[in-house]
């Protein structure tokens, strides 16, 4: 990772804040509680004693995130403001919880009465598509957290930023909440820049959405806990299939295009997995130190084996000449699950192993489930802090959780890289210890 300077963590703000927050009246009775935070309240980027001591020794200000939370003074007057909510990209547990949290906070705590739901992602902000707006009220969203998916719908792919901002201006939108992944966040940054170019101040605040947990500078993304819990159930089923027959092999393919966090965490949660394959660690199939030989030896010792593979693992084993992309420009992955299935079955025949093979791919069943209680809490708190940030005029900003604190993360920083499992780090080391597999197959 490149060196992060304090200036890289500065959050864009639309202007000075002069409007008294209505939250002051809500908390008048609780004089002993200090609910408001200042832009000067910071959370260190690196919180180790060594990093702090190094900064002090060099007479430098440590890089630190702006603490999220309610401000005493607001940029927007709640009585004359309106907001919109849009969800983009693939599904993830907790989207509806975030939508509900945004509406409840904006309506009840700040008194906003115009809250638009944008249908079908960024498409809904392009007039030519003809998607109607949705009027979001506490009554309209009261039960949506019990549903999977997104009640607003979603779509992939970029749209004309100028047309999006024209539509926001036409609707007199002051605040835009965007729920989406890295491509969506890049679009959010462009929307913020274009609105400022037009001298139409719009606060653009994002809640990062990625089931793979691969957004930088946040401890975890919402939906990740739910995904891991659902993945564990699939692993348990595959384990039951594998261990109840002679030479049984279970293979579970989980989400993780570029990052193997779900595969690692779900494997650790069960302590039943023999092999974990992730995108960050390349491997070979053939040869004395290849994966197939390691699988053979494991079955000889225990009579069965259980494999968990992230969807982006082993892409180097495919021919790159015919790669396609989706509407968002992401390279479409080849199916590593089917590749492994074919090679394992071929290896079984060549070595007369008579393997009993079961392949489970629960990915889309996991993406569409409602959030579990832990994620539900997380979604509400992310949403609350997003509303606080927006009312204070923060823009081009994502809400993250860093070292247990909710913080403002400049979108430019959040999309500067992709968070991945460190092959030399503690998580992968724990996986190696739990499975007993070789650190590498090559």
Q: Which residues are catalytic?
A: 212
Would strands 405-410 and 397-402 be described as parallel, antiparallel, or unpaired?
antiparallel
Copy the structure tokens of residue 272: 């039943």
> Helix 373-391 vs helix 95-104: angle between axes, to the nearest 10 degrees?
40
Q: What is the CA radius of gyration of the chain?
A: 24
Run of H or E residues at 356: strand 356-360
Q: Report the alpha-carbon distance of residue 413 to residue 397 in Å, rounded.
A: 9
Tally Cβ neighbours within 10 Å of residue 122.
Answer: 28
End-to-end CA separation in angstroms for the chain: 27
Q: Report the alpha-carbon distance of residue 231 to residue 325 in Å, rounded.
A: 26
Q: Report the alpha-carbon distance of residue 287 to residue 441 in Å, rounded.
A: 9
Copy the structure tokens of residue 317: 């084993």
Q: Report the alpha-carbon distance of residue 266 to residue 372 in Å, rounded.
A: 15
Burial of residue 193 (number of CB atoms within 10 Å: 0-12, 13-18, 19+): middle
Run of H or E residues at 117: strand 114-118
């Amino acid at each position: 990772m490149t060196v992060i300077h304090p200036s890289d963590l500065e959050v864009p703000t639309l202007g000075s804040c002069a409007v008294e927050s209505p939250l002051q009246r809500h908390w008048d009775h609780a004089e002993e509680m200090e609910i408001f935070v200042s832009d000067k309240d910071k959370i260190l980027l690196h919180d180790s004693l060594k990093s702090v001591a190094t900064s002090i020794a060099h007479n430098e200000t440590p890089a630190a995130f702006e603490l999220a939370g309610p401000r005493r003074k607001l940029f927007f007057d709640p009585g004359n403001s309106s907001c919109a909510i849009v969800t983009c990209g693939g599904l993830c547990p907790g989207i509806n919880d975030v939508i509900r949290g945004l509406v409840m906070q904006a309506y009840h705590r700040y008194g906003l009465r115009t809250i638009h739901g944008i249908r079908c992602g960024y498409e809904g902000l392009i007039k030519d598509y003809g998607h109607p707006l949705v009027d979001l009220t506490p009554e309209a969203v009261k039960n949506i957290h019990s549903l999977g998916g997104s009640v607003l719908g979603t779509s992939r792919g970029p749209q004309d930023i100028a047309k999006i901002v024209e539509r926001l201006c036409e609707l007199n939108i002051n605040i835009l909440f965007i729920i989406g992944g890295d491509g969506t966040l890049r679009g959010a940054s462009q929307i913020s820049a274009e609105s400022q170019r037009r001298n139409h101040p719009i606060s653009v605040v994002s809640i990062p959405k990625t089931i793979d947990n691969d957004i930088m500078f946040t401890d975890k993304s919402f939906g990740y806990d739910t995904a891991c819990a659902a993945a564990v159930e699939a692993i348990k089923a595959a384990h039951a299939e594998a261990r109840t027959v002679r030479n049984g092999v279970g293979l579970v393919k989980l989400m993780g295009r570029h990052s193997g966090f779900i595969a690692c965490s779900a494997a650790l949660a069960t302590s039943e997995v023999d092999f974990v394959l992730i995108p960050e660690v390349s491997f070979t199939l053939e040869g004395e130190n290849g994966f197939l030989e390691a699988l053979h030896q494991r079955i000889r010792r225990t009579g069965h084996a259980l494999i968990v593979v992230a969807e982006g693992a082993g892409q180097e084993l495919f021919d790159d000449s015919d790669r396609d992309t989706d509407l968002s420009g992401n390279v479409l992955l080849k199916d590593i699950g089917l590749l492994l299935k074919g090679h394992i079955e071929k290896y079984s025949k060549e070595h007369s192993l008579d393997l009993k093979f079961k392949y489970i791919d629960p990915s889309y069943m996991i993406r569409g489930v409602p959030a579990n209680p832990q994620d539900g809490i997380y979604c509400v708190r992310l949403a609350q802090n997003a509303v606080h940030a927006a009312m204070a005029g923060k823009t081009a900003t994502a809400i993250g959780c860093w070292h247990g604190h909710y913080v403002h993360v400049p979108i430019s920083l959040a999309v500067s890289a992709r968070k991945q499992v460190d092959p030399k780090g503690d998580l992968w080391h724990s996986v190696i210890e739990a499975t007993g597999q070789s650190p590498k197959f090559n």
